[in-house]
Structure 1
Amino acid sequence: MKTILWATLTANGNYAQSGPDNPPTQEALSDFAEQAKAAGNFIVGRKTFEGMQDPSRVSLEEQTNAEGPFAGMDIVVMSKSIQAIPGLTIAGSPREALDCLRQKGHKTALVSGGADIHNSFLGEGLVDELIFNVAPVVEGKGLNLLIDKDNYRYKKVKLLDCKPLGGGIVQLRYGIDR
């Protein structure tokens, strides 16, 4: 299964932290919706999923109905604390999440939302492509995407595409040999 990791990074290379002072841009959100639609699915962590449930946003039920941006998509939430949510698949590990999507017939998986989730997929060598949306913001403190938390290991990547998304965001797409 082809696994694509989608993330927004700051201009100084940190994993971008969304919040009231730095909300996700419409350009990045639109791109995510396009990527998710192409894959027919996405995998998120519990914290990101809970953020999607923010009452100030459109509910997940509305997002996944026949007319919502995630209509007909399989959503997998990676969590060790959530037991069950009607209409969603809960997985405890990256491999379990991919197996769930594979069993549903998917050939591609989109991983988004949460540095911990991203680092777990990268650390297990399960990512084939990286999509980085570089936002025009610099953070003083941030999280990093890691392939190995304990060692200085390098993994060469191949630039597949580079394009502006608008709003000062540049998207970089890399391939990773597994």
Structure 2
Amino acid sequence: MKTTLWATLTANGNYAQSSSENPPKKEALDDFAAHAIAAGNFIVGRRTFEGMLENGSVGGGPFADLDIVVVSGNAGDLPGVTVARSPQEALNYLQQKGHQTALIGAGADLHNAFLSKGLVDEVIFNVVPVMEGKGLNLLIDKDNYQYKHVQLLDCKPLGSGVIQLRYAMDR
């Protein structure tokens, strides 16, 4: 199964944090929806999923017919989704459902869990035109300085200053 990690980054390289002062760019959200629909699924962390519930992003619309997997060690029942306890359990579930691609959608901690376990084949970064102070980073190993070379597959503007970079990763 091919796994694609999708993330929004700031112009200075941080994992972009959304807030009322810095809402997500429409172009990035539309791009995520297009990738999720193409994959037929997406995987998110519990806090991200709860945020999606609060702002009405799930429960209908473009995500109505998708397999949504929430990875959490302490989530109870969540409406309309499957809860997995680990990244590998999430991938196993989607593979058993017949999916050829898994889209890892949101949450820096979850992204880092997939990256540190070497479970990512491709990354899609939407770089938004904002600089951020203290921020989060995507890491392949939080304890050691490591390098993982990637191959640029595509680079394109999405509009409103958002640039998309797509890289292949060796597993």
TM range (shorter): over 0.9
Q: Percent identity?
A: 69
Q: What residue in structure 1 maps to residue 29 of structure 2?
A: 29
> For residues 46 and 116 of structure 1, what CA distance do their matches in structure 2 show?
10
Q: CA RMSD of the aligned region, Å?
A: 0.9
Aligned residues: 171
Matched letter for residue 76 of structure 1: V
Residues 25, 59 of structure 1: alpha-carbon distance in 2 compared, 3 angstrom cutoff: closer
Matched letter for residue 132 of structure 1: F
> For residues 169 and 107 of structure 1, what CA distance do their matches in structure 2 show?
28
The correspondence of residues 127-166 of structure 1 with structure 2, limited to 5 A, is: 127-166=120-159
Matched letter for residue 31 of structure 2: D
| Alignment pair present for 1:58 and 2:67 | no
Matched letter for residue 32 of structure 2: F
Q: In the TM superposition, what is the alpha-carbon distance from 1:84 to its structure 2 partner?
A: 1.8
Q: In the TM superposition, what is the alpha-carbon distance from 1:59 to its structure 2 partner?
A: 5.6
**Structure 1 ranges of 4+ moved more than 4 A:** none
Query: Secondary structure of 2:62's match?
Result: coil
Q: Deviations over 1:7-61 (max 9, x none)?
A: 000000000001111111110000000000000000000110010011xx33622
Query: Secondary structure of 2:63's match?
Result: coil
| Alignment pair present for 1:15 and 2:15 | yes
Q: What residue in structure 2 maps to residue 112 of structure 1?
A: 105
| Alignment pair present for 1:40 and 2:40 | yes
> For residues 132 and 79 of structure 2, what CA distance do their matches in structure 1 show?
37
Query: Secondary structure of 2:42's match?
Result: strand
Runs of 5+ unmatched residues, structure 1: none
Q: Deviations over 1:74-107 (max 9, x none)?
A: 0000111112224210011100000010110001
> For residues 175 and 77 of structure 1, what CA distance do their matches in structure 2 show?
24
TM-score of the pair, normalised by structure 2 = 0.97
Q: What residue in structure 2 maps to residue 91 of structure 1?
A: 84
TM-score of the pair, normalised by structure 1 = 0.94
Runs of 5+ unmatched residues, structure 2: none
Matched letter for residue 157 of structure 2: P
